[in-house]
Chains A and B, each alone.
Chain A
Amino acid sequence: MLNVYKKYLAATYEWIMRSIANGRGGSCAYYRPLSGWSEPYPETTGYLVPTVLAAGQTLNRLDAPKVAVELGDWLLSLQQGEGWWPGGLYSRRRTDLAPSVFNTAQILDGMVALYRTTGGSSWLDALERASTWLAAGVDEGGRWTLGNYRNAFNPSYYTQVAWPMLEAWSITKKTEVRNAAERVLELVLTRRRSNGAFNCWGFAPGQPAFTHTIAYTLRGLLESARILGAWERFGQPALLALETIQRRCELAGGRLAAAFDENWRQTSWYSCLTGNAQIALCLLHLERKETDLRLVNTAAKLVDSVCKTQRIDLPASPINGAVAGSNPFWGRYMTLRYPNWAAKYHCDALCTLMYRLRQEGLH
């Protein structure tokens, strides 16, 4: 199986490289069969950086560090003076630049990875400015009033903002950044329901959440707990939701519903493939703490579920190695498109799974 996974990783990585080759500096947000490549997307380009570095190393791609730096340079050129990045796709013609909390945090993730890899001062400067800007915008209640995707809505998946803030704090040691991140996490914890779900963990309040944003929420908690050494406070609260999802996935033979509402009612006629990969990552990261191959088992099934949807036998095709938004392709998450973040998370999940299986002695 390791050889099989490596083939899928290589194909997915090459697709990401193709998205960069067509991205005029960044990585294209998605590929759509009828209309081709989209504009580049700074947010997802940002968190593609650690993926390029990690997957590139696994695949022995010697140019991976250079590619990552070039992505970083492009992102630096878009960072605004106060430290934020704007939301949305990039276009030279755009003039309506507005700050985005979530997008800034995902690009911050890329800056952290580049600093840790190269030690370069430009990355340090960028991550300091970004994390300072993020921290300054958090009120005492853990909310941002400026830079939200939807008006004043601070979704629970902002744990995925707290996490990069804490990664930045671990480098800069600026206490205001850590304190702000903790306020964000505490706000999310107040939304935890007795069934393990979190209110407002979707794109809009009161609506079913894609597994994509559910996984953001849970992963943000797990990683924040790791950085802070605070498992009981921030990691434990994610456990019931993760185990509920794990069980649902296993009972469905490795298939995962695309979305769940806050009572765990599921939308299961399609899967959100990005969410599948992200949940696999959550399980693998939890397993680092709990050492239980039963979690790896479910993660493997989720990874397999994404691999099964990929074409890797058409090397000349722009969909070779791509990961669709949904399975079936016409599902409601990123309908009829192949997002770059789906490929990103699938690469991450493949790398992490392969590493774990090798640790167990699989050869």
Chain B
Amino acid sequence: MAGVVLTAGYDRSLHALAIGELLKRRGIELSGVIVVSHFSVERIRAVIRQKGLSPLIAYALGRKRLGQAGASLAPLQEFFAAQHIDRTPMRRWARKAGVPVRLVSHINHVDAVRFVRQLKPDRVIYAGGGILRDAFIDAVDGRVLNAHSGPLPEIRGMNACEWTLLLGLCPAVTIHLVDHGIDTGTVLETIPLPLVQDDSIASLRERCIVVGISALVEWASRPLPERLTSRRLTPSSRQCFVLAPALRELLEQRLTQLLKPCVH
């Protein structure tokens, strides 16, 4: 096996750190780590495009960390404690582990694509960094694994946890290959994630991340399908986007009713 390349959305990504550390403990070769810089023109432009100037102003005034969701980190904290993983910035971790690391301004930067091509990994594990474009995906012949926090093909796109609940589906984490569409790649595994008492949207999101971490580590060494197919879109596969405030309020009001056993 030619090893695995891991992406990280930013240097302090707990998600990527957990995957990297667990891969290392399993003896799975990590041939490289790509870290997307927190402070890049592209990232700032994307934030402005999506959220306007307010988050940047708040960040500049020291009120909020850029990109911070503000969600509870309890499930992830518990996972880190149970696995005895020390929190370390990704680049420092990679250097200590002897793993080549590349810092890029955005995931589709020519440096990132070149890095992947040079390493010729068996697969890439995507743990954040933005939407992957054709050049990156093609550089590894489509062997990019992602953990999506919702059932596919029904819930594609953003706020997958929230949309799963709002549309009356059972929460699940889907391990899939990344192709040229948005969450349209081959599904490898769907892992149901029933709601638990006292669940909140934030805790469910965190639990999805934890399940995704474990599943991606498992899939780092499993055989992949030989023929990789992209799912044809159907009307039920309309892409999901960030919830509007009114829809978020609707979801919060409904959540207590949703804390019932559901069947896949």
| Residues of A that sit less than 8 Å from B by CB | 1-2, 5, 243, 247, 250-254, 290, 292-298, 300-301, 304, 353, 357, 360-363
CA separation between A293 and B249, bound complex, in Å? 13
Say yes or no: is B246 at the interface (Cβ < 8 Å to chain A).
yes
What is the minimal beta-carbon distance from B69 to any residue of chain A, in angstroms? Answer: 16
Contact assessment for B245 and A293 in the assembled complex, using a CB-CB cutoff below 8 Å: no
Contact assessment for B244 and A292 in the assembled complex, using a CB-CB cutoff below 8 Å: no
What is the minimal beta-carbon distance from A354 to any residue of chain B, in angstroms? Answer: 9
- Which residue of A has the minimal Cβ distance to B52? A253
| Residues of B that sit less than 8 Å from A by CB | 49-52, 163, 166-167, 235, 238-247, 249-250, 253-254
Contact assessment for A301 and B244 in the assembled complex, using a CB-CB cutoff below 8 Å: yes
Jot down 17 A-B pairs with beta carbons below 8 A, ordered by A. A5-B246, A250-B239, A251-B49, A252-B50, A290-B235, A292-B238, A293-B167, A296-B247, A297-B241, A298-B241, A304-B245, A357-B246, A357-B250, A360-B250, A361-B250, A361-B253, A362-B250
Pick the residue among B50, B167, B235, B247 that contacts A300 (CB under 8 A): B247
CA separation between A300 and B167, bound complex, in Å? 17
Contacts A1-B246, A253-B52 given; does A362 touch B253 at CB 8 Å:
yes
CA separation between A5 and B249, bound complex, in Å? 13
What is the minimal beta-carbon distance from B181 to any residue of chain A, in angstroms? Answer: 13
- Which residue of A has the minimal Cβ distance to B235? A290
Contacts A361-B254, A363-B253 given; does A297 touch B49 at CB 8 Å:
no
Contact assessment for B241 and A300 in the assembled complex, using a CB-CB cutoff below 8 Å: no
- Which residue of A has the minimal Cβ distance to B50? A253
CA separation between A251 and B240, bound complex, in Å? 11
What is the minimal beta-carbon distance from B146 to any residue of chain A, in angstroms? Answer: 19
Q: Which residues of chain A are near B166, meaning CB under 8 Å?
A: 293
CA separation between A327 and B244, bound complex, in Å? 20
What is the minimal beta-carbon distance from B44 to any residue of chain A, in angstroms? Answer: 14
Contact assessment for B245 and A300 in the assembled complex, using a CB-CB cutoff below 8 Å: yes
Number of A-B contacts (CB under 8 A): 58
Q: Which residues of chain A are near B242, meaning CB under 8 Å?
A: 250, 253
Contact assessment for A294 and B241 in the assembled complex, using a CB-CB cutoff below 8 Å: yes
Residue of B163, B243, B244, B250 with most partner-chain A CB within 10 A? B244
What is the minimal beta-carbon distance from B232 to any residue of chain A, in angstroms? Answer: 16
What is the minimal beta-carbon distance from A306 to any residue of chain B, in angstroms? Answer: 13
CA separation between A139 and B13, bound complex, in Å? 66
Contact assessment for A294 and B240 in the assembled complex, using a CB-CB cutoff below 8 Å: yes
What is the minimal beta-carbon distance from A236 to any residue of chain B, in angstroms? Answer: 11
Q: Which 4 A-B pairs have the closest CB atoms?
A: A300-B244, A250-B241, A253-B50, A1-B246
Contacts A297-B243, A362-B246 given; does A252 touch B49 at CB 8 Å:
yes
CA separation between A360 and B253, bound complex, in Å? 11
- Which residue of A has the minimal Cβ distance to B250? A362
- Which residue of A has the minimal Cβ distance to B158? A250
Q: Which residues of chain B are near A296, meaning CB under 8 Å?
A: 247
Give 5 new A-B contacts, CB below 8 A, not counting A300-B244, A304-B244: A1-B246, A1-B249, A294-B239, A294-B240, A363-B253
CA separation between A357 and B245, bound complex, in Å? 12
Pick the residue among A2, A243, A297 that contacts B244 (CB under 8 A): A297
What is the minimal beta-carbon distance from B229 to any residue of chain A, in angstroms? Answer: 24
- Which residue of A has the minimal Cβ distance to B244? A300
- Which residue of B has the minimal Cβ distance to A300? B244
CA separation between A363 and B250, bound complex, in Å? 8
CA separation between A295 and B166, bound complex, in Å? 13
Q: Which residues of chain A are near B239, meaning CB under 8 Å?
A: 247, 250, 294
Q: Which residues of chain B are near A1, meaning CB under 8 Å?
A: 245-246, 249
Contact assessment for B49 and A253 in the assembled complex, using a CB-CB cutoff below 8 Å: yes
Q: Which residues of chain A are near B235, meaning CB under 8 Å?
A: 290
Q: Which residues of chain A are near B244, meaning CB under 8 Å?
A: 254, 297-298, 300-301, 304
Q: Which residues of chain B are near A247, meaning CB under 8 Å?
A: 239
Q: Which residues of chain A are near B245, meaning CB under 8 Å?
A: 1, 300, 304
Contact assessment for A294 and B250 in the assembled complex, using a CB-CB cutoff below 8 Å: no
What is the minimal beta-carbon distance from B56 to any residue of chain A, in angstroms? Answer: 13
CA separation between A290 and B49, bound complex, in Å? 29
Q: Which residues of chain B are near A362, meaning CB under 8 Å?
A: 246, 249-250, 253
CA separation between A296 and B241, bound complex, in Å? 11
What is the minimal beta-carbon distance from B182 to any residue of chain A, in angstroms? Answer: 10
CA separation between A357 and B251, bound complex, in Å? 11
What is the minimal beta-carbon distance from A257 to any residue of chain B, in angstroms? Answer: 12
What is the minimal beta-carbon distance from B243 to any residue of chain A, in angstroms? Answer: 6
CA separation between A327 and B52, bound complex, in Å? 14
What is the minimal beta-carbon distance from B66 to any residue of chain A, in angstroms? Answer: 15
Q: Which residues of chain B are near A353, meaning CB under 8 Å?
A: 246
Q: Which residues of chain A are near B238, meaning CB under 8 Å?
A: 243, 292, 294-295
Q: Which residues of chain B are near A5, meaning CB under 8 Å?
A: 246
Pick the residue among A252, A253, A293 that contacts B247 (CB under 8 A): A293
CA separation between A252 and B242, bound complex, in Å? 11
What is the minimal beta-carbon distance from A240 to any residue of chain B, in angstroms? Answer: 12
